[in-house]
Structure 1
């Protein structure tokens, strides 16, 4: 079977189950509600509408942080969908007929990557709509600049799309390396929701530690996008951060390394 035929088959498998759209709905609800809640607080703070002695945030920094919530808070969703695309096949043994039809297993992995591009673009677009829409509405309601007329904003949105796609690739790499679906999901959640956030927060209090944590996948993704709620909330500001292109290369490097390890270590083993 040719790569084109294998890619067509992988695309059909991706969209033949409810997994992709169920996770997409949860993704939109999560990042949309998060951006809306943060937008209300940040916009009220910047406009001086909060009661008491609440600190007043600089208005110029709010829009990028709110818009980037799709990647800074929601990157776990494209990571999970990429992981599930592979581990689901190991779990349900659907890789067996696939490998019988396409004996070259490396071609199957390439077909999965190519077929996942539309899914990554779709998740990126949904994330942008879910965060930019409510955030811009709240900023406008409080009389603050939405910055939607700025080329920098649209460049950041483009980088958000790229980051989302790269996270899908990273997920496919994780799934190809860790065949057990439960283990892969638990590992992804533990690392993204606990280990890395704690490490990056602790780095703000330890001199020189940000020189290391800036190379973590989430930090690289934030650097690629150019804005993040985590860096804004960190004591001392953003600290050390990679250039956007370097962040993209680091995240791509994680995907490539995981895919290479998966192809060498796990992908060649028996499925049944």
Structure 2
């Protein structure tokens, strides 16, 4: 198994896929961090807040929720790309049992997912720091930043693992790119809008995209409101929360850990589906 994991790491780092998808994660992370806190500085001047708004927390959440799609694509292509290049045949012939290939890929890609998550959090935080004029108050307390950053790394990791399972399930390098993009940015968006004010609107936080976004946003938004409102947080109108969730993801009143458990379920489902199909698929 160790030899298989080493082989997977060699496959990853001898191709351009990992760094090609890391670039947009870094660029989006820096942009979200800088723009978020720079905008907060304008609000500070206009509204004359007595303390800095901890918009750095929201910026990290926003950059994470944009960046996770690239982590998913990396995980999916790490598996489906082998079917395109036909290298999967050699991989399966040198691995016994076949299922060990999936586990080796999950372990190797998990490391890259953590790398993506750390890069996103650090670059978004750096961008937020520059946008805030090096004002550390834009991150709230160190514990708040650490919690949101940790959730961001965990989210990126889980999206990567889900991508590996999805790639094993579909095994088509074109479809594993098109389907996630269409679903996340079109189908789920339309579905979420159509569920508003319906009898089943309560299922919205449990949709895959909403659950994945909620891992970070359902932690960052309450921390932001708590830092701004202080003792008056319970009196903060629901509309304020919903406006923040509209821009930065997540769902009002839905705890971050519930989103985490939901997305863990989706990840396990795709990995199990990928394992079942990949161990029975014919290869040439």
What's the TM-score once normalised by structure 1's chain length? Answer: 0.85
Query: In the alignment, what sits opposite 2:202?
Result: 211
Alignment of 1:47-126 (within 5 A): 47-48=45-46, 60=53, 62-126=55-119
Structure 1 partner of 2:8 = 10
Superposition map of 1:29-44 within 5 A: 29-44=27-42
Counterpart of 2:43? 45
Deviation of the 1:180 alpha carbon: 1.0
Determine the C-alpha separation between the residues in 1 that align with 2:3 and 2:25: 30
Closer, same or farther: CA 125–144 of 1 in aligned 2, 3 Å: closer
Q: 1:75, CA displacement in angstroms?
A: 1.2
Matched, 1:189 2:185: no
Query: Any residues of structure 2 matched to 1:115-264 within 5 Å, and which?
Result: 115-140=108-133, 145-147=137-139, 149-203=141-195, 205-207=196-198, 209-225=200-216, 226-227=219-220, 232=244, 234=246, 239-264=251-276
After superposition, the Cα gap between the structure-2 partners of 1:238 and 1:48, relative to the gap in structure 1 and judged at 3 Å, is: farther
CA contact (8 A) 1:28 1:130 kept: yes
C-alpha contact (below 8 Å) 1:223/1:241 kept by paired residues: no
Inter-partner Cα distance in structure 1 for 2:282 and 2:121: 40
Relative distance call for 1:144 and 1:113 in structure 2 (3 A) is closer
Aligned residue in 2 for 1:53? none
Asked whether the equivalents of residues 140 and 146 of structure 1 are also in contact (C-alpha less than 8 Å), the reply is no
Q: 1:31 to 1:238 in 2, by over 3 A?
A: closer
User: What TM-score does the superposition give when structure 2 sets the normalisation length?
Assistant: 0.82
Structure 2: runs of 5 or more not aligned: 222-240
How large is the RMSD of aligned CA atoms in angstroms? 2.7
State the match for 2:236 in structure 1: none
Aligned pairs, number: 260
* 1:148 shift after superposition: 5.2
CA distance in 2, matches of 1:231, 1:179: 39
* Per-residue Cα deviation, 1:138-188 (whole angstroms, up to 9, x for no partner): 2246x6822354312211111111111001001001101111111111001
Tell me, in whole angstroms, the C-alpha distance in 2 between the residues paired with 1:121 and 1:106: 23
Q: Hey, what's the Cα distance between the residues in 2 that align with 1:241 and 1:178?
A: 35
Question: 1:27-79 CA deviation, whole Å, 9 max, x = no partner?
Answer: 21123223323333343234328xxxxxx9x9646232112123222210101
The alpha-carbon deviation at position 12 of structure 1 amounts to 1.1
CA distance in 1, matches of 2:283, 2:45: 59
Structure 1 gaps of 5+ residues are 50-55
How far apart, CA to CA, are the structure 1 residues paired with 2:143 and 2:21?
Answer: 31
